[in-house]
Amino acid sequence: MSRRRSAAWWGVLGLMLLALAGCAPRAGTQATPAASPAAAGVPDLGGRTLRVATDATYPPFEMLDEQKNLIGYDIDLIREICRLANCRPEIRSVAWEGILPGVQQGDYDVAISGITITPEREQRVDFTEPYIEVGQVILVRADETRIQGAQDLADKTVAVQLGTTNDELATRMQRERQIREVRRYRTFDLAVAALLNRDVDAVIIDSVAGQGFIAQNPGRLKTVGERLTREQLGIVVREGNTELRDAFNAALRALKQDGTLDRLYRKWFEEWKPK
């Protein structure tokens, strides 16, 4: 073989080795296509993997489909953000009460889980700009006639998810004797199950998730009365992680402008029908 031919073969061999290295699965991650650069005006996160925590018991923000895939508005949103900011979300469903501590300890880079921006939480973690506004509502069984609104709860038992802003509101109402008893569940699934089982009289829940549970239980649930709060939801990063927060904010602005947020809203709050 001539010197030139053998140099060419070494080159081919080298390329094959590189290709093999590229195909080899890396621990814990799936082989994913090469990252595409960030969109114009959005900081580039260099294709890095982000550990994202969510509590997937919150339709239609985050839930599991029949094949146990994570789906929902928040799931689509973080994927769209990473498409623009050049990152790879590795999304895990975890218990709600572990989400903010997990971000604080650095177990997760990001939390997206219908999380209300509150001054108390802002002491512990950083939030992006709001991506949607919600309000709390009262969810009751479809055949309920005794409860028309918040004024009818003074002798009733109300369920919430432990550690949510819904828990905070119900706890305050109970202190002010506007609710007889508050039952706190680890997930909203369990709170709604308790309502359907007649263990409790009502659930206090964010409007959008209330609609999600109504859609999942056709003919069995309804909301009553006025909205009790106005709350902004944001995406959480570790306190001081301005790199991630700024990239996400730039991506959120782009997604608002190009109509993606509106499209996701229609997809999950108007068109989505649970199986």
Under the rule (CB under 6 A), what is the footprint of ligand ARG?
A: 55, 57-58, 62, 96, 113-116, 161, 164-166, 188, 206
**Amino acid, single-letter form, for residue 141:** R
**DSSP result, 51-117:** EEEE---BTTTBEE-TT--EESHHHHHHHHHHHHHTEEEEEEE--GGGHHHHHHHTS-SEE-SS-B-
Identity of the residue, 157 or 187, whose beta carbon is nearer to ligand ARG in the bound complex: 187
* CA–CA gap between residue 269 and residue 209 (Å, rounded): 10
Q: How far from each other are the two terminal CA atoms of the chain, in whole angstroms?
A: 65
Nearest distance from C-beta of residue 206 to ligand ARG, angstroms: 5
Q: Which is nearer to ligand ARG, 166 or 260 (CB)?
A: 166
Residue whose entry in the numeric block shows the structure tokens 């469903």: 93
* Minimum CB distance to ligand ARG, residue 72 (Å): 9
Q: Which is nearer to ligand ARG, 131 or 188 (CB)?
A: 188
Residue 228 beta carbon to ligand ARG: minimum distance, rounded to whole angstroms: 12
Q: What is the closest distance, in whole angstroms, from the C-beta atom of residue 101 to ligand ARG in the complex?
A: 14
CB 186 within 8 A of CB 98: no
Task: Output the CA–CA distances (angstroms, integers) from residue 2 to 5, 8, 15, 16, 233, in the order listed.
Answer: 5, 10, 20, 21, 67
CA distances from 171 to 116, 149, 150 (A): 17, 17, 13
Nearer to ligand ARG, 86 or 165 (CB): 165
* CA-angle at 242, arms to 166 and 55, nearest 5°: 30
- Rounded to a whole number of angstroms, the minimum distance from the CB of residue 124 to ligand ARG is 13
How far is Cα 269 from Cα 254, in angstroms, rounded to an integer?
Answer: 21
The whole-angstrom separation of Cα 80 and Cα 189 is: 27
Pick the closer one to ligand ARG by CB: 43 or 114: 114
In the complex, least distance from residue 56 CB atom to ligand ARG, rounded to whole angstroms: 7
Q: How far is the CB of 175 from ligand ARG (least distance, A)?
A: 18
161 vs 211 by CB, closer to ligand ARG: 161
Of 137 and 261, the one with the shorter C-beta distance to ligand ARG is 137
